[in-house]
Amino acid sequence: MIASGRTRLLVTVGLVAVLAAGAGTWALVEARTGASAAASAGGGGAGSGARAGAGDRYTGPTGIVTRGDLTDSEVFAGSLGHGTPTGVPGAASGTITWLPEPGQVVSRDEFLYAVDERAVRSMYGTVPLWRDLERGTSGTDVRQLNENLTALGYDVAQDDAFGPRTQRAVEQWQRARGHDVTGVLTADDVAFVDGPVRVASVDGRLGQPASGDVLHVTSTERIVTATVSQRDAERLAVGTAVDVRVNGAGDAMSGEVTDVRPATGDDATTKVDVSVSFDAGDRQLPAAASARIEAQGTTAQDVLSVPVAALVAADDGRYAVDVVRRDGRTERVRVVPGLTASGRVAVTGDVAAGDRVVAPA
């Protein structure tokens, strides 16, 4: 029977961890079980999950006090793909006479599109070609050009200055590719894209002027993307190490957040798109699949923890657990809760690893 006047608060939902100095602040939903309720139910049966009274032996569900590291982690639903497409503007002057096919991969110095039967070629860089590059100019875009010319085997200095060596290399490049030899690099010659790209869609039309985005491209690498809230995005900052699980691809793979940007659509102000690159090794990935991103947060090292459901909240705002002793009787022991993760909560108090505690299912 349940002892008269005893109250048990079962912590099953509403537990919110607000991390501060390695500890949590808890909001608890209270459910009271009194002697009158027990009497109306016909006494404390085996399925009541209540704490045993004085002289009684507890036979309900229990959990174990364990010692170890406790890590707050979260899982986000995503999908396997090539990332968010970006546009390639048709900056060349003339009529479109050639376009690639969707799915085609374009590497450095290869055709992106053509106007008036003159190829606009790919060069790698994050800064768009916003001006003509000629002798005497300098800047990040010039450095990008010099790095590309070096990669193609031309003798230039890898700096941000367009000097005589860069001019000579541009003239040689133009001559070898059938362009007008001017020594000036323009949007009729190249477009800067962020590395090797895969054509996601073709927006331009043959016979039409090159205006607007003529192509949309993505990375050639397989990545996992997820749309999350801005609050969750704080856990998924660029450079964060995560684990990636692709449906049908086996065990988790090590990954890293590589891009975070506002989501497109009506809820762009509250959502962000997160891109994660990962090392698939030699495993074969499906063409398309759902995926999970597992991000770890705060870790409490070498702590004692109990199931969240084992916590008992007292009227004075403090907390306890009911330890089941060897004779089956329970003893209420004061504890201080800390970090919660994976259904467990770190505690400090007069408990030890291996103790059994009342933990209603």
Average pLDDT over residues 343-357: 96
| 187, 237: one domain | no
Which are the contacts of 6, defined by CB distance < 8 A and separation ≥ 6? 35, 51, 53
Average pLDDT over residues 270-295: 91
pLDDT of 356 above 50:
yes
DSSP 8-state assignment for residue 234: G
Asked if 122 and 109 touch (Cβ cutoff 8 Å), the reply is yes
| 172, 159: one domain | yes
Average pLDDT over residues 5-14: 35
Residue 165 is inside which H or E element, if any? helix 164-176
In a domain, 116, yes or no: yes
User: Distances in Å between the alpha carbon of 143 and those of 100, 175, 179, 229?
Assistant: 28, 21, 22, 37
| 59, 99: one domain | no
Distance CA 10, CA 29 (A): 8
Domain that holds residue 175: 87-219
Residue 26: closest CA among 352, 294, 350, 346: 346
Residue 258: closest CA among 293, 213, 283, 282: 293
Distance CA 189, CA 155 (A): 20
| 118, 187: one domain | yes
| 109, 256: one domain | no
Distance CA 274, CA 225 (A): 5
pTM of the model: 0.62
**How many domains in the chain?**
3
In a domain, 5, yes or no: no
Q: Residue 70's pLDDT is what?
A: 92
DSSP 8-state assignment for residue 314: -
The CATH number covering residue 238 comes to: 2.40.30.170
Average pLDDT over residues 143-162: 97
pLDDT of 83 above 90:
no
Q: Residue 242's pLDDT is what?
A: 95
Asked if 136 and 204 touch (Cβ cutoff 8 Å), the reply is no
Question: Residue 266: pLDDT band by 50, 70, 90 thresholds?
Answer: low
Average pLDDT over residues 189-204: 97
The CATH number covering residue 65 comes to: 2.40.420.20
| 293, 188: one domain | no
The CATH number covering residue 140 comes to: 1.10.101.10
Distance CA 294, CA 299 (A): 14
Question: Residue 361: pLDDT band by 50, 70, 90 thresholds?
Answer: confident
Question: Residue 27: pLDDT band by 50, 70, 90 thresholds?
Answer: very low
Q: Residue 265's pLDDT is what?
A: 61
pLDDT of 351 above 70:
yes
Q: How many Å separate Cα 148 from the centre of its chain? A: 32
| pLDDT tens track for 301-324 | 999 999 999 999 877 889 999 999
| 153, 114: one domain | yes
The residue out of 273, 298, 323 marking a domain boundary is 298
Q: Residue 268's pLDDT is what?
A: 53
Question: Residue 269: pLDDT band by 50, 70, 90 thresholds?
Answer: low
| 113, 155: one domain | yes
| 131, 232: one domain | no
Distance CA 274, CA 84 (A): 9
- The answer to whether the Cα torsion of 56, 326, 59, 353 is positive or negative is positive
pLDDT of 278 above 90:
yes
